[in-house]
Amino acid sequence: MRIFLTGATGFIGSRILPELLAAGHEVLGMTRSEAGARSIEAAGGQPHLATLEDIEAIKAGATETDAVIHTAFDHDFSNYAENCTKDARVIAAIGSVLQDTDRPFLITSAVGLGDPGDGSPAREDVFDAAHPTPRIASEKAGAEFAEAGGKLIVIRLPQVHDTVRQGLISPYIDITREKGMAAYIGEGRNSWSAGHVLDVAKLYALALDKGEPGRRYHAVAEEGVTMREIAEAVGAGLGVPVKSLSPEEARDHFGWLSIFAGLDMRTSSAWTRKTLDWTPTGPDLLTDLGNMDYTAG
């Protein structure tokens, strides 16, 4: 197939690109820069210049291809709600092109939306419409496309990591460096699920080839790593003390990240692994946190 891959030079998209090429697909990769275009060409893809604000250019890319994998996202978490709304607009625009066709559309969401609300790990068969994360806008936009007959597949992400980036933990590290303290809330027992970026990239490619429309898949290698463990790893890396905060203290300490810092985001991927025959093999989160260069920040 010929695949339109948004975010083709991004943290995850740049790893999906070679997976798709290795599977025999052609890739039209969206990038916002000439440098990005050159890197896509060097990898074996065809570049497509567009930004997330350039809706018509995005629609043109979707028009030219047999399937779309949408990973592009504005990762300015200080404007997270606004950026999630923007993502919903992009999903709706791509969906308008793919509607009434048999072309699959893979979108990206967050594992928290699979929270069953009973304290057990998030699951693929659950959609928590009351979850506080603004990323709910992405799944709602996708659901409208699916309800109208579109071939939607949702990939839900945990903290995706290597030794350079770790999802929400990257801004956590920045805050820890600024404050001189690695903090967690209460006993730090709340957990965040995680997946190595190369394993996550493989899952997108598998979901394209073997995924079932209307399903959600969890790109989760580790069900949950406690916030205390994360704080201890980051504290050791930065050489700063580790401290427990009350919820009131956490709001001031974490700023916008306080929305997430106390959430428990344990997530199961048992159904995803069985259905797609996906077996994560990459390093775990604490290993990558232990091996990263904290002087590079």
pLDDT of 199? 98
Indicate if 32 and 55 belong to the same structural domain.
yes
**One domain for residues 17 and 86:** yes
Q: Identify the sign of the CA torsion 138, 144, 145, 147.
A: positive
- Domain that includes residue 208, residue range: 2-160+194-221
Domain assignment present for 23: yes
Query: Is the same domain home to 288 and 181?
Result: yes
Residue 279 lies in a domain: no
Same domain (yes/no): 139, 186: no
Q: Which residues, other chains included, contact 39 with Cβ-Cβ below 8 Å and sequence gap of 6+?
A: 9, 14, 31
Per-residue pLDDT at 282 exceeds 80: yes
Q: Which residue shows structure tokens 């996550």?
A: 200
Q: Residue 169 falls within a domain, yes or no? A: yes
Whether residues 135 and 252 share a domain: the answer is: no
Report how far residue 285's alpha carbon sits from residue 9's, in angstroms, rounded to the nearest whole number: 23
Record the pTM: 0.96
In this structure, the answer to whether residues 202 and 248 fall within a common structural domain is no
Give the percent of the chain with pLDDT over 70. Answer: 100
186, 131: one domain: no
Is 277 inside any structural domain? no
CB 276 within 8 A of CB 149: no
Work out the pLDDT band at 221, boundaries 50, 70, 90.
very high
Least confident piece of the model among 17-26, 71-80, 271-280: 71-80
- Residue 178, number of CB atoms within 10 A of its CB: 10
Assign 130 a pLDDT band (cuts: 50, 70, 90): confident
What is the longest distance spanned by two Cα atoms in the chain? 57
Same domain, 108 and 237: no
Residues 59, 79 contacting (CB under 8 angstroms): no
To 10 degrees, what angle do helices 136-147 and 80-98 make? 20
Question: CA distances (Å), 220 to each of 26, 86, 123, 157, 188, in order?
Answer: 27, 25, 11, 7, 21
| pLDDT value for 79 | 86
Q: At 259, is the pLDDT very low, low, confident or very high (cuts 50, 70, 90)?
A: confident
Distance of CA 137 to the CA centre of its chain: 14
Which two tokens mark 124?
């693929």
Mean pLDDT value of segment 23-52 = 97
Domain count for the chain = 2
Could you tell me the pLDDT band of residue 66, with boundaries at 50, 70 and 90?
very high
In a domain, 273, yes or no: no
- Residue 233 to residue 209: CA distance in whole angstroms: 37
Residue 107 covered by a domain: yes
Model confidence at 41: pLDDT above 80: yes
Same-domain check for residues 15 and 147 = yes
In a domain, 272, yes or no: no
Q: Could you please report the per-residue DSSP string of 227-280?
A: HHHHHHHHHHHHT--EEEE-HHHHHHHHGGGHHHHT--B-B--HHHHHHHT---
Paired tokens of 67: 């399937």
Are 13 and 73 members of one domain? yes
Considering the domain boundaries, does residue 214 fall inside one? yes
- 285 pLDDT band (50/70/90 cuts)? very high
pLDDT at 296: 82
pLDDT reported for residue 129: 84
Residues 61 and 48: beta-carbon distance below 8 Å: yes
Evaluate if residue 229 carries a pLDDT over 80: yes
Whether residues 209 and 89 fall in one domain: yes
pLDDT at position 215: 97
Contact 193, 224 (CB under 8 A): yes
CA gap 83, 45 in Å, rounded? 27
CATH number at residue 245: 3.90.25
Same domain (yes/no): 178, 189: yes
The predicted pLDDT at position 109 comes to: 97
Is residue 297 over pLDDT 80? no
> Above 90 in pLDDT, residue 241?
yes
pLDDT recorded at residue 133: 85
* CATH code of 109's domain: 3.40.50.720
Residue 151, pLDDT > 80, answer: yes
**Cβ count within 10 A of residue 44:** 14
Mean pLDDT of all residues in 233-255: 97
Give the pLDDT mean for 89-108: 97
* Amino acid 49: pLDDT: 97
